């Protein structure tokens, strides 16, 4: 599979992939007449700025909530196991949700639909805040599971929808751009995680 897609990208003009194939001893047709200029990284970013922003917002929200809310006083009846149950719930649902787009009617392909779904996740911030203060462990486990479910599902939907319609080299470049935005979102989310400590005694 890797050989097929790398060969396809090389035939569509990817010079870096051609170098990888040459290093691996794989021969490709060097027909420059068939190769066309690909869009620049700047053009790809501008054309897909909504997808880039979507990925950034997904991980800003997720990492600003999880696992920062664990510093809240949410120990209820499960005691010291409570944090482990929450972390497990998040990771299990995040993993399972990454396969949901395989079901066609569950896959979100509309650009506007993806943006609306991702922006609506910000309602989870007040939901977590009030649940940590007034709710019981059942509601918190449900919220954490929903956070993981939407995180994995929306990430895959964005990553699979964005490259459609582009040639191999452009898909490679766009993938790198989107992963960069995802990493920036993770960093920003982790940086905002400390906000959960505001107002807590002995937090610092």
Lowest mean pLDDT among 59-68, 96-105, 157-166, 172-181: 59-68
More confident residue, 37 or 26: 37
Tell me the mean pLDDT in the region 53-81. 77
Structure tokens at 52: 């880039």
CA torsion angle 86 92 94 99 (round to 10): -160
Q: How much is the pLDDT for 132? A: 78
Supply the pLDDT for residue 191: 87
Nearest to 111 by CA among 61, 170, 173, 52: 52
The number of C-alpha atoms within 13 Å of 89 and in the hemisphere containing its C-beta is 19
The CA-based angle 21-22-26, given to 5 degrees, is: 60
Global pTM exceeds 0.75 = yes
Q: Which pLDDT does position 20 carry in this prediction?
A: 57
**What b/e sequence results for 89-111 when a residue is b if at least 16 CB atoms lie within 10 Å of its CB, and e otherwise?**
bbeebbeebbeebeeeeeebeee
Region 127-146: what's the mean pLDDT?
Answer: 87
Structure tokens at 183: 């990493």
What is the model's pLDDT at position 74?
56
pLDDT at 37: 75
Top-confidence residue, 46 or 136 = 46
Percentage of the chain modeled with pLDDT above 70: 75
Cα separation, 52 vs 40, whole angstroms: 16
Average pLDDT, the chain: 82
* pLDDT surpasses 70 at 134: yes
Reading the block at residue 37, the tokens are 């200029």
pLDDT at 32 over 50: no
191 close to 151: Cβ distance less than 8 angstroms: no
Using CA of residue 24, residue 6, residue 97, residue 196, what is the dihedral sign?
A: positive
Integer Cα distance of 98 and 139 in angstroms: 23
- Does residue 8 surpass a pLDDT of 90? no
């Amino acid at each position: 599979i890797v050989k097929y897609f790398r060969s396809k990208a090389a035939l569509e003009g990817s010079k870096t992939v051609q170098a990888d194939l040459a290093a691996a001893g794989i021969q490709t047709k060097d027909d420059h007449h068939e190769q066309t200029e690909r869009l620049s990284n700047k053009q790809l970013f501008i054309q897909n700025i909504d997808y880039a922003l979507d990925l950034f917002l997904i991980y800003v929200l997720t990492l600003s909530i999880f696992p920062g809310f664990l510093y809240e006083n949410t120990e209820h009846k499960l005691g010291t196991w409570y944090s482990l149950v929450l972390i497990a719930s998040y990771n299990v649902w995040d993993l399972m949700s990454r396969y949901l787009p395989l079901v066609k009617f569950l896959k979100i392909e509309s650009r506007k639909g993806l943006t609306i779904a991702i922006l609506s996740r910000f309602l989870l911030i007040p939901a977590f805040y009030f649940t940590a203060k007034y709710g019981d462990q059942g509601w918190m486990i449900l919220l954490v599971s929903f956070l993981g479910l939407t995180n994995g599902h929306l990430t895959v939907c964005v990553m699979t929808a964005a490259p459609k319609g582009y040639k191999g080299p452009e898909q490679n470049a766009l993938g790198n751009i989107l992963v960069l935005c995802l990493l920036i979102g993770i960093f920003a989310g982790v940086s905002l995680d400390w906000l959960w400590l505001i107002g807590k005694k002995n937090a610092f």
